[in-house]
């Protein structure tokens, strides 16, 4: 039986606005797999960034037939650095999250072709005695009924499927 190892990388841009209406960006980078070490991740900007360990759990993105935004919850223990995540992003309403999930091999190296990035925007947060919950929705909104203004036809896009199942490759 093969063990599955997943490391998740939490890259948060928290925007704060001070008393003089100056907007400031605070960057947070955490990962939840390598407990006593910092881990590095090659990001889309071509640079390698270090991620500190933080105990967090990301819970399900959902989708429905109406095309509403997917939802994601990220749970942290109720500790000081997690409280700062909420406060610096105005209750997690002024934040942008890039969540990277990376599959690892048996020797804990990244598996080739098994890194996935998803982008979310903050919509709120809540506290309990033990947990801080950050809530996000997907950054891409569904397309409204009036967009695009042209009808998709075989001449525009080629052969169309006969059912609702689409596979993008």
Query: In what helix (H) or strand (E) does residue 76 lie, and over which residues does it extend?
Result: strand 71-77
In the numeric block, the tokens 């942290």 are attached to 76
Report how far apart, in Å, the C-alpha atoms of 150 and of each of 21, 75, 166 are.
43, 42, 20
Q: Which residue has the higher pLDDT, 68 or 105?
A: 105
Give every strand in the sheet of 23-31, ordered side by side: 39-42, 48-53, 23-31, 5-17, 95-104, 110-127, 131-138, 71-77, 57-59
**Within a domain: residue 21?**
yes
pTM confidence score? 0.73
Number of independent structural domains in the chain: 1
Q: Which CATH number is 96's domain given?
A: 2.40.10
Q: Tell me whether residue 41 is in a domain.
A: yes
In a domain, 20, yes or no: yes
Q: Does some domain include residue 103?
A: yes
Q: Is the dihedral of CA 110, 116, 120, 125 positive or negative?
A: negative
Q: Which two tokens stand for residue 59?
A: 């819970």
pLDDT of residue 105: 86
Q: Decide if 25 is inside a domain.
A: yes
pLDDT value at residue 61: 65
CA distance 69 to 143: 11
Instruction: Tell me the residue range of the domain where 98 lies.
Output: 5-141
Evaluate whether residue 151 is within a structural domain.
no
Phi, psi of 78 (to 5 degrees): -80, 85
User: Which pLDDT tens digit goes with each residue over 15-61?
Assistant: 877 778 777 888 999 999 998 877 888 888 889 999 999 999 998 76
Q: Which pLDDT score is estimated for 66?
A: 59
CA dihedral 77→83→88→94, nearest 10 degrees, is 50
In a domain, 159, yes or no: no
54-104: per-residue pLDDT in tens?
999 998 765 555 566 678 999 999 988 888 888 887 888 878 999 999 988
The reply to whether 104 falls in a domain is yes
């Amino acid at each position: 039986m093969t063990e599955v190892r997943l490391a998740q990388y939490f890259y948060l841009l928290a925007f704060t606005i001070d008393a003089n209406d100056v907007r400031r960006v605070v960057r947070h980078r955490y990962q939840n797999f390598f407990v006593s070490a910092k881990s590095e991740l090659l990001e889309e900007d071509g640079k390698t960034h270090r991620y500190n360990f933080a105990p967090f759990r990301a819970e399900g993105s959902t989708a429905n037939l109406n095309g509403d935004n997917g939802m994601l919850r990220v749970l942290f223990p109720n500790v000081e650095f997690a409280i700062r995540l909420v406060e610096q992003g105005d209750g997690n309403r002024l934040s942008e999250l890039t969540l990277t999930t990376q599959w690892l091999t048996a020797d804990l190296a990244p598996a080739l072709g098994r890194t996935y990035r998803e982008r979310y925007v903050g919509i709120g947060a809540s506290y309990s005695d033990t947990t801080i919950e950050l809530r996000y929705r997907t950054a891409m909104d569904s397309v409204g009924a009036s967009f695009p203004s042209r009808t998709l036809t075989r001449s525009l896009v080629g052969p169309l499927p006969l059912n609702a199942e689409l596979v993008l490759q």
